[in-house]
């Protein structure tokens, strides 16, 4: 039989509840405590979505479903582990479990489609530092750096966009624009040659081509609360501009995210919708991937392609 492969499915992580928000926020900020104002503002955003923290649960469901699908394709070969960046079970715990199970081959898969040194790159760094710290013997790891152009993922996004357009009234459908978004990052990544903006554009272009969209663009959402410039244009700005240009509706496809969490449930469903209402334009968003079986099949294809294409030296 082929060697066993441990897939470390990684995601952002979330607070365990309202009392854990401060700890979580400090972790996101690399240990620096937020100001009382920033902390209060974050607590307010979670409160506005009913103090829900669904990301861990959804990520668990995605990982379980991925393991089942991989088992169907190659019985007995794959085991899927969970590793979160900012909350338990942390990435280092996932690596320790893989080591404990004696699996010698690891694949890191971040549940975010586009690569940036500041996003996917930091997950990879955490795995590598856990591998260094834990001592021998270490599993041999390779990483899926991005999967923004996976054809099955593009097909699901395309049906999500078509379904969201179909929810609009006929006159809104005619005048609608589609905006593809991902999490903003500090703008300095552009001068560093980071592929993140080009990858978002490519996802948008592929979906637009599939659907024959003529009116579509990209925008950045959920920029951090730091003084430095972040990637733009910001989604709010784009929504106001579309309203000013006379568009009757906007469909937001948050293709940089794959689950319902704060950046969807607050930033889109509350904040962006409020901005759209003020500007006089209808806003709908595409359904998140969550554990939709079609999405899990796309992730399965991403993992299998990676394993087939990656030759690992056995030291
Ligand atoms: O539902 C939840 O509780 C978690 C939602 C959540 C996701 C997420 C994804 C990404 N982030 C990315 C980058 C940054 C950078 C900073 C930053 C800050 C925050 C804060 C919260 C937060 N992020 Fe996040 N992010 C989520 C939640 N993020 C809360 C802190 C308050 C705020 O600034 O809004 C700035 C750090 C700093 O201040 O030093 C940078 C990127 C992603 C998408 C890729 C991924 O999923 O890893 C990139 C989900």
The band of 225, judged by pLDDT with boundaries at 50, 70 and 90, is confident
28: CA distance to ligand 1 center in Å? 7
Is pLDDT of 81 > 80? yes
Residue 273's nearest CA partner among 292, 246, 254 is 254
- What's the pLDDT at 1? 59
- What pLDDT is recorded for position 2? 78
- If one residue of 26, 183, 220, 288 were mutated to test the ligand 1 pocket, choosing by the most ligand atoms within 8 A of its CB, it would be 183
Residue 117 DSSP code: T
Given 3-state DSSP classes, what are the helix, strand and coil percentages for the chain, each rounded to the nearest 5?
Answer: 50, 15, 35
Ligand 1: centre distance to CA 261 (Å)? 10
**Rounded mean pLDDT, 171-189:** 96
Distance 66 CA to ligand 1 centre (A): 24
Q: What percent of the chain has pLDDT over 90?
A: 94
Find the farthest-apart pair of alpha carbons in the chain and give their distance in angstroms, rounded: 64
pLDDT at 101 over 50: yes
9 Cα: distance to centroid of ligand 1 (angstroms): 18
Ligand 1 atom nearest 30 alpha carbon: 39
Q: Which residue's alpha carbon is nearest to atom 15 within ligand 1?
A: 224
Ligand 1 atom showing the smallest separation from residue 185 Cα = 40
Query: What is the CA(185)–ligand 1 centre distance, in A?
Result: 9
For 133, the enclosing helix (H) or strand (E) is: helix 120-133
Does pLDDT of 143 surpass 90?
Answer: yes
3-class SS at 83? strand
Contact 3, 76 (CB under 8 A): no
Helix (H) or strand (E) holding 251, with range, is: strand 249-253
* Lowest mean pLDDT segment, chosen from 112-116, 131-135, 302-306: 131-135
Answer yes or no: are the C-beta atoms of 111 and 11 closer than 8 Å. Answer: yes
d(CA 272, CA 98): 41
Q: Crossing angle of helices 91-100/120-133, nearest 10°?
A: 50
Residue that has been written with the tokens 């979670």 in this structure: 46
Instruction: Classify burial at 244, counting beta carbons within 10 Å of its beta carbon; exposed 0-12, middle 13-18, buried 19 or more.
Output: exposed
From CA 26, how far away is CA 33, in angstroms rounded?
5
220: tokens are 């950045």
Burial class of residue 308, CB neighbours in 10 A (0-12, 13-18, 19+): exposed
**Mean pLDDT score of the chain:** 96
Asked whether the predicted pLDDT for residue 306 surpasses 60, the reply is yes
Question: How far, in Å, CA of 35 to CA of 307, rounded?
Answer: 44
162-166, 224-228, 268-272 — which is least confidently predicted?
A: 224-228
Question: Is residue 315's pLDDT more than 50?
Answer: no
Q: Which atom of ligand 1 is nearest to the CA of 14?
A: 3
> Quick one: pLDDT at residue 313?
54
Q: What's the 123 CA to ligand 1 centre distance in angstroms?
A: 13
Q: Which atom of ligand 1 is nearest to the CA of 54?
A: 1
Report DSSP letters for 201-218, one per residue.
Answer: HHHHHHHHHHHT-SSEEE
Q: What is the pTM of this model?
A: 0.96
- Which helix (H) or strand (E) segment holds residue 43: the answer is helix 36-48
Show the ligand 1 pocket: residues with CB < 6 angstroms. 12, 14-15, 25, 28-29, 42, 53, 55, 112, 118-119, 183, 185, 224-226, 256-257, 261-263
Burial class of 30 by CB neighbour count within 10 A (0 to 12, 13 to 18, 19+): exposed
Report the distance separating Cα 297 and Cα 69, nearest Å: 7
pLDDT exceeds cutoff 70 at 25: yes
Tell me what the mean pLDDT of segment 12-40 comes to: 97
Distance of CA 284 to CAs 53, 68, 165, 302, Å? 22, 33, 8, 29
Question: Which atom of ligand 1 lies closest to the CA of 259?
Answer: 49
Residue appearing with tokens 């898969």: 109
Is residue 175's pLDDT more than 60? yes
Measure 114 CA to ligand 1 centroid, in angstroms: 15
DSSP label of 90 = B
């Amino acid at each position: 039989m082929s060697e066993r492969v441990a897939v470390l499915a990684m995601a952002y992580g979330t607070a365990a509840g309202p009392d854990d928000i401060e700890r979580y926020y400090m972790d996101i900020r690399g240990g620096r405590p937020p100001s009382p104002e920033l902390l209060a503002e974050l607590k307010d955003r979670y409160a506005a979505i009913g103090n829900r923290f669904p990301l861990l649960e959804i990520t668990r469901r995605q990982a379980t479903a991925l393991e089942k699908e991989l088992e169907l394709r190659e019985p007995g070969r794959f085991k899927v582990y969970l590793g979160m960046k900012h909350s338990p079970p942390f990435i280092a715990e996932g690596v320790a479990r893989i080591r404990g199970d004696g699996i010698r081959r690891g694949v890191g898969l971040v549940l975010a489609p586009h690569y940036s040194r500041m996003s996917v790159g930091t997950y990879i760094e955490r795995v590598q530092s856990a591998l260094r710290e834990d001592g021998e013997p270490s599993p041999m790891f390779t990483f899926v750096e991005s999967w923004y152009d996976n054809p099955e993922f593009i097909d699901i996004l395309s049906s999500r966009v078509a379904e969201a357009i179909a929810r609009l009234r006929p006159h809104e459908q005619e005048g609608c624009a589609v905006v593809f978004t991902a999490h903003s990052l500090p703008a300095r990544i552009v001068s560093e040659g980071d592929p993140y903006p080009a990858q978002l554009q490519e996802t948008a272009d592929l979906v637009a081509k599939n659907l024959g969209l003529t009116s579509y663009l990209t925008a950045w959402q959920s920029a951090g609360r730091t003084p430095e410039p972040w990637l733009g244009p910001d989604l709010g700005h784009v929504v106001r501009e579309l309203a000013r240009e006379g568009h009757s509706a906007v469909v937001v496809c948050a293709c940089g995210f794959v689950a319902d969490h704060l950046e969807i449930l607050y930033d889109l469903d509350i904040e962006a919708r409020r901005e759209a209402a003020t500007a006089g334009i209808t806003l709908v968003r595409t359904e998140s991937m969550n554990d939709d079986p079609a999405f899990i099949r796309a992730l399965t294809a991403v993992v299998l392609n990676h394993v087939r294409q990656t030759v690992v030296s056995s030291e």
